[in-house]
Amino acid sequence: MQPIRVAIVGLGKIARDQHLPAIAGNPDFALAATVSPRGAGLDDVPHFPSLDALIAAGVAVDAVALCTPPQVRYAIAVQALAAGLHVFLEKPPGATLSEVVALEAEAAASGATLFASWHSRYAAGVEPARAFLADRRIDRVTITWREDVRVWHPGQAWIWEAGGLGVFDPGINALSIATRILPKPFFLREAILSLPANRAAPIAARMTFSDAAGTPIAMDLDWRQTGPQTWDILVETDAGDCHLAKGGSVLTLPTGTETQDDHEYPGLYARFATLVRERRSDVDIAPLRLVADAFLRGERETVEAFED
Model pTM? 0.94
Which pLDDT belongs to residue 215?
A: 96
Q: Classify domain 124-259+292-303 at the CATH topology level.
A: Dihydrodipicolinate Reductase; domain 2 (3.30.360)
Contact 190, 208 (CB under 8 A): yes
Architecture of domain 4-116: 3-Layer(aba) Sandwich (3.40)
In angstroms, the CA 224 to CA 226 distance is: 6
Contact 35, 65 (CB under 8 A): no
> Residue 29: which residues within 8 A CB-CB, separation 6 or more?
3, 4, 5, 6, 23, 269, 273
Going from the C-alpha of 232 to that of each of 100, 141, 177, 267, 283, the distances in angstroms are 28, 11, 11, 21, 25
Say how many C-beta atoms besides its own lie within 10 A of residue 263's C-beta.
Answer: 15
Pair type for strands 47-48 and 29-35: parallel
Per-residue pLDDT tens listing for the chain (308 residues): 899 999 999 998 899 999 999 999 999 999 999 999 887 889 899 999 999 999 999 999 999 999 999 999 999 999 999 999 999 999 999 999 999 999 999 999 999 999 999 999 999 999 999 999 999 999 999 999 999 999 998 888 889 998 889 999 999 999 999 999 999 999 999 999 999 999 999 999 999 999 989 999 999 999 999 999 999 999 999 999 999 999 999 999 999 888 777 789 999 999 999 999 999 999 999 999 999 999 999 999 999 999 98
Which pLDDT belongs to residue 257?
A: 83
User: Which sequence positions are flagged as catalytic?
Assistant: 91
Q: What is the CA radius of gyration of the chain?
A: 20
Calculate the CA 197 to chain-centre distance: 27
> Residue 198: which residues within 8 A CB-CB, separation 6 or more?
305, 306, 307
Q: Where exactly are the structural domains of the chain? A: 4-116, 124-259+292-303
Compute φ and ψ for 219, nearest 5 degrees: -135, 130
Closest CA to 172 of 73, 22, 272, 284: 284
What is the distance between the terminal CA atoms of the chain, rounded to a whole angstrom? 47
Residue 15: strand, helix, or coil? helix
Residue 34: how many CA atoms within 13 Å on its side-chain side?
A: 20
Say how many C-beta atoms besides its own lie within 10 A of residue 122's C-beta.
Answer: 23
Which pLDDT belongs to residue 163?
A: 84
